[in-house]
Amino acid sequence: MSNEDEVRKSLLAKRAELVKRVGGTQAIERQEVAEGQNDNAQLWEVSDIRDDLDAQGATELDQVNKALARLDAGDYGLCTECEEPIAVARLKALPYATLCIQCAEEAEESS
């Protein structure tokens, strides 16, 4: 199995996991509504959890999709900033990394 196949597999697994997570929380909310729970505090709590997951999940999903698109385009693993290859160890830890470690550190310092 080539390295790219492995990367694709882990990205697809990550995407499935995210979809399941987002779908799961929406299912929880639907259930709450179906059961006719009108307790405001409880409804707020549920939508807070969902919002958290959605925001984080949507961002991750976006990153995973972009990484898959780059894989298809053949420019996966290249830093979008300096176009140098991203270290393999970094990609293993963060399969959808778009910046090499140097550019990532610079981006962090300037923010």
Does 103 help bind Zn ion (rule: CB under 5 A)? Answer: yes
The span of 3-11, 22-30, 61-69, 82-90 binding Zn ion (CB under 5 A) equals 82-90
Does 97 help bind Zn ion (rule: CB under 5 A)? Answer: no
Does 91 help bind Zn ion (rule: CB under 5 A)? Answer: no
SS3 for 105?
helix
Min separation Cβ 4 and Zn ion, Å? 20
Does 68 help bind Zn ion (rule: CB under 5 A)? Answer: no
Min separation Cβ 83 and Zn ion, Å? 7
Give the count of beta carbons closer than 10 Å to the beta carbon of residue 76. Answer: 22
Of residues 29 and 81, the one with the C-beta less far from Zn ion: 81
Alpha carbons 109 and 55: distance in angstroms, whole number: 24
Does 82 help bind Zn ion (rule: CB under 5 A)? Answer: yes
- The two tokens of residue 82 are 């300096």
Q: Which of 81, 87, 90, 94 binds Zn ion (CB under 5 A)?
A: 81
What lies within 8 Å, CB to CB, of 84 at 6+ separation is: 78, 100
- The two tokens of residue 7 are 């990367």
> Could you tell me the end-to-end alpha-carbon distance of the chain, in angstroms, rounded to an integer?
39
Of residues 72 and 105, the one with the C-beta less far from Zn ion: 105
